[in-house]
Structure 1
């Protein structure tokens, strides 16, 4: 927004937080729209697999709930539940205001006091027990040409000391998509199998847990070998990773820290840091934790997370046989 619209924006946010009526008609309209959007999203194999691995990895914990709700739960939401949720959570105790760009700090403070002073100050105890990681395998047949596979391993939380190690590991896995000599890249060497269509990896970090997720698309006939290659590379990566690979992965991590993000992303990052660290953490501080990272230290810090724990495995689409996941493990040896 432009600076001259800042006052109006604070006023609008204030009205949304404190004066929303949540009429039955608006609630029905919103639920209908979300259901329609979910119908489309849940036909996207990559999105669906990401939701599935969260559901099973964090089973019996709120972190395992679908973030957008399910087609079964959304129609059951009532106006009173929405109002109660807002009353319990949208309080001054839970409020973090983060702004970036052409701003004046004192002006932001004045506007917050002007428009948000009526927010209730109570704080309901809603601490979520950190979820235990569950190793589960699940398959879902669908009319797809190819096979989609997700592997999820437990990972560090947003404020865990090992987070930098996982950031470097995630970039190390992503290097499988970067042309290089096969012998220099353990994942690319492991995945040098005909039939691999795509491979993505990403790190999902939260306040008290995290997941390292790999998403694979491959032809159905190659699925047993591709799945086995992933398990083999993760189970033995400590024997195959070189310091030169770690250096390239660290460079990718440093580039991420230095990139110019949008102002909205900067504000969101700052808010997360204030919530988890009670301060703004400079990128140099995150980067310094990776400077001395070597292959041996990465293996030492990560091994207990990925070498000794069976991952969540979710398969979707064209499933060639009922014992496909068992074949993954057979081909991982």
Structure 2
């Protein structure tokens, strides 16, 4: 019941707390008046309850916790993910069998996932079963048995999952990239944790993580579909009670971007998988939306699919003409205090240098030559993708919970549209010049030993020429 997010898998609404007007920022108090569809109530414990009623026969309710692998340390790295697995092994009120049978008889779906900054538990059910689903969620979070025999049994499951992750080159590249570029801070930790930790994490470690991080003001209960806000507020109070609160900030060690050149040699590989990136921006940074548009314009390419029907970007055209490049994917990853902007790729060794040249030309094109028509297409595509991602109660619930964790509020779609529309070709070029051309690079390569690798210094010189 675990899923992990990496750049390119999922579009996340990266909207800050200000309203963009060209290259200027105005406070939200000066913005046009919008009527958010999301209703939010803060309980005395600091826990927030947020709902959006769409009058559907089904509903999704989730608990979003401001806690993930970046809140861990070297010794307990992997604990948040381990806890996610343990949540479904039974509680003081329900055995594992009882839990599975109850969910199945309801026709519901119960799931969870862990990221570097969040842990999420959610249930999708018929609208009339929202109370039973809330009861189950509170039970697995508050009353999980964490039995020692279950802890021991789950180690092998997580170790197998780690083996699967190690076979996924994209996951390997991004894990290795994070370890290098955020070296010395918890953002460098993998979500699953190292093998030695998976083998040594104890029941006490799991219980301590819950006690330390599952605090009221670091939790959001979000629901959408056929839900009534006052009912969900009552259910939250009834089943979650008054969990203790904390500032939360004492647990955050800020991520520090470290330029790097790293290569993991695997002689058995014929292809090269890698990433080239610069430091990105946080969720609430004023340049966030502009970088999302940039990411959309640069796009992706897969030789097995071709360029598709839409007009490709200059970078897509250049990459498609390089023999030996199998794919590339632009990514924009945001965290609370930093981020990564770059390109993930798969190529034959001989095409690596031409590909880096194409990246340089593509970034410079965005910074100096991208035209107004292309920017408008990028803005429309971004908005379309974001709206399509909100099709159904589960993605809407995820969007509500995520935004309340990162922004403190749900960004109305009308406001998001207005902010995207306000981006101009000049303001986008200015952001790209600042963010893509004048930053130190971080590169990560997995593949056979290579002789002719362009250095970061060489690429940076080409970008700034």
1:221 counterpart = 2:350: yes
Given that residues 258 and 442 in structure 2 are in contact (C-alpha distance below 8 angstroms), is that contact kept between their aligned partners in structure 1?
Answer: yes
| Structure 1 partner of 2:333 | 204
| Structure 1 partner of 2:39 | none
Task: Supply the distance in 1 between the matched residues of 2:339 and 2:460 (Cα, whole angstroms).
Answer: 27
| Structure 1 partner of 2:439 | 309
Provide closer, same or farther for how the CA distance between residues 121 and 239 of structure 1 changes in structure 2, counting only shifts above 3 A.
Answer: closer
Q: CA deviation at 1:308?
A: 1.2
| Structure 1 partner of 2:377 | 248
1:187 counterpart = 2:315: yes
Provide closer, same or farther for how the CA distance between residues 302 and 326 of structure 1 changes in structure 2, counting only shifts above 3 A.
Answer: closer
Q: 1:9-158 residue pairs with structure 2 within 5 A?
A: 9-122=133-246, 125-142=249-266, 143-158=268-283
Given that residues 147 and 318 in structure 1 are in contact (C-alpha distance below 8 angstroms), is that contact kept between their aligned partners in structure 2?
Answer: yes
Q: Which runs of 5+ in 1 are unaligned?
A: none
| Structure 2 partner of 1:296 | 426
Q: 1:163 aligns with which of 288, 299, 302?
A: 288
User: In proportion to residue count, which structure has more strand?
Assistant: 2
Task: Supply the distance in 2 between the matched residues of 1:236 and 1:130 (Cα, whole angstroms).
Answer: 32
Q: Which runs of 5+ in 2 are unaligned?
A: 1-124
Aligned length: 331
Q: CA deviation at 1:257?
A: 2.8
Q: CA deviation digits over 1:16-39, x for unaligned, max 9?
A: 222223122211222221111111
Runs of 4+ in 1 over 6 A off after TM superposition: none
Given that residues 182 and 257 in structure 2 are in contact (C-alpha distance below 8 angstroms), is that contact kept between their aligned partners in structure 1?
Answer: yes
User: In proportion to residue count, which structure has more helix?
Assistant: 1
Task: Supply the distance in 1 between the matched residues of 2:330 and 2:436 (Cα, whole angstroms).
Answer: 14
Given that residues 299 and 316 in structure 2 are in contact (C-alpha distance below 8 angstroms), is that contact kept between their aligned partners in structure 1?
Answer: no
Task: Supply the distance in 2 between the matched residues of 1:9 and 1:45 (Cα, whole angstroms).
Answer: 37
Provide closer, same or farther for how the CA distance between residues 118 and 292 of structure 1 changes in structure 2, counting only shifts above 3 A.
Answer: closer
TM-score (norm 2): 0.66
Given that residues 224 and 331 in structure 1 are in contact (C-alpha distance below 8 angstroms), is that contact kept between their aligned partners in structure 2?
Answer: no
TM-score (norm 1): 0.90
